[in-house]
Amino acid sequence: MSDDIFSGHRSINLPDAFAGTANADWRRSTRCGSNACVEIAKVGKSYLVRDSKDLGQAPLRFSPRVWRAFVAGLSTGELNS
């Protein structure tokens, strides 16, 4: 198995990108003081991320493995610029 967290990534068509998002429980940071935030939701096994300013765009969809790697990177400061 490859260590690349993006292995197995596939592109999906636009209607599929919105599948399951209509009833998603979208959440944003309590530190968000405007509509210029990202929102996250868990739908099935996928983690979704969307821009709260542009709800017409398809959300990004991540597998549990990729999401865990992202959260770990945030926690360790690996993603700080």
- Model confidence, pTM: 0.69
* 66 touches 5 (CB < 8 A): yes
Query: Which pLDDT score is estimated for 31?
Result: 84
| Confidence band, pLDDT 50/70/90 cuts, at residue 72 | very high
| Confidence band, pLDDT 50/70/90 cuts, at residue 2 | very low
Q: Identify which of 60, 56, 66 has the alpha carbon closest to the alpha carbon of residue 41.
A: 60
- With a cut of 90, say whether residue 66 has pLDDT above it: yes
Q: What is the DSSP string of 10-43?
A: ----HHHHTTT-TT---B--TT--SS--EEEEEE
* pLDDT tens, position by position, 4-57: 554 555 554 445 556 666 778 889 888 888 878 889 999 889 999 988 888 888
